[in-house]
Amino acid sequence: MGAKEYIRERFFPHLWCPGCGHGIVMNGLLHAVENIGLKKNDIVMVSGIGCSSRISGYLDFHTLHTIHGRALAFAAGVKMSRPELTLLAPMGDGDALSIGGNHFIHACRRNIDMTAIVMNNRVYGMTGGQYSPLSGYGTYATTAPYMNIDPDFDVVSMATAAGATFVARSTTYHIKQLTDILEAAILHRGFSVVEIMSQCPTYFGRKNKGGSASDMMEKFKTRTAPLGSKEKQEDPSLIERGIFVNREAPEYCQEYQHVIERATRGK
């Protein structure tokens, strides 16, 4: 089965703006799924609301398009009832870490077996370019015309501190690394978080003089460095990318099954 077989072609052309990075993320995800050899009927993709969440409409998996910020809550319900299925939860930076922030940290804590894909374009792109929890100090947005003074979350640090057993970061520029990381995240037995730095030339780029989509991607190349690399040591301002956490821990569905067994035995 080729990657094209996973696509709902009747919904194309897609609605993403020209230059948006989310299509690159979808491409990397499709190749990761193809490399693993997953069947369409064994995958459930759950999304919330936002530019990133449009991805669930384009892929021919079992899909559930839910309400803003609640993708992980719905995905947890599906996984608990059908633990044999592979759960994928693509989210935007606001969807995951603003209204969905509490669901995010508790999903990390519980270690339920699913993959959270956080597409970080640092803006609320679908609703008009408002700043998000990942926009960062000194940026501009429609809701911060005189500069945003909120510091941003570090997705990797937050996921690690909350207990996620697989935590990684890549960018839309580094598509080969992105595909490899998504493949490893899906295969990991536990809660996986993959942050993907994605360009939004329409809103974030325009408001922050980021240039074209290719200009923004060039910055992903020059302003990031492999985890633990010499480049990072020489320039601490570079953003690291790679797999930060990959450890084993009891998986939630499996542990819950033990609870059911004890209850059935009356103990």
Write down the pLDDT at residue 5. Answer: 86
Identity of residue 250: P
Q: φ, ψ for residue 197 (rounded to 5)?
A: -70, 120
Cis peptide before 236 (omega within 30 of 0): no
Quote helix, strand, coil % in the chain, to nearest 5: 45, 20, 35
267 falls in which pLDDT band (50, 70, 90)?
low
Global confidence as pTM: 0.95
Map tokens 């989509």 to a residue: 213
Tell me the C-alpha distance between 194 and 26, whole Å: 13
Reported as a pLDDT band with limits 50, 70 and 90, residue 47 is: very high
User: Which CATH architecture best describes the domain 14-264?
Assistant: 3-Layer(aba) Sandwich (3.40)
CA 264 to chain centre: 38
Which one-letter amino acid corresponds to residue 235? D
Q: Which amino acid is at 147?
A: M
On whether the CB atoms of residues 115 and 89 are closer than 8 A, the answer is yes
Question: Which residues share a beta bridge with 239?
Answer: 224
Question: Residue 266 has what pLDDT?
Answer: 74
Query: What tens digit of pLDDT does each residue of 177-213 get?
Result: 999 999 999 999 999 999 999 999 999 999 999 999 9
Instruction: Report the C-alpha gap between 59 and 253 in whole angstroms.
Output: 26
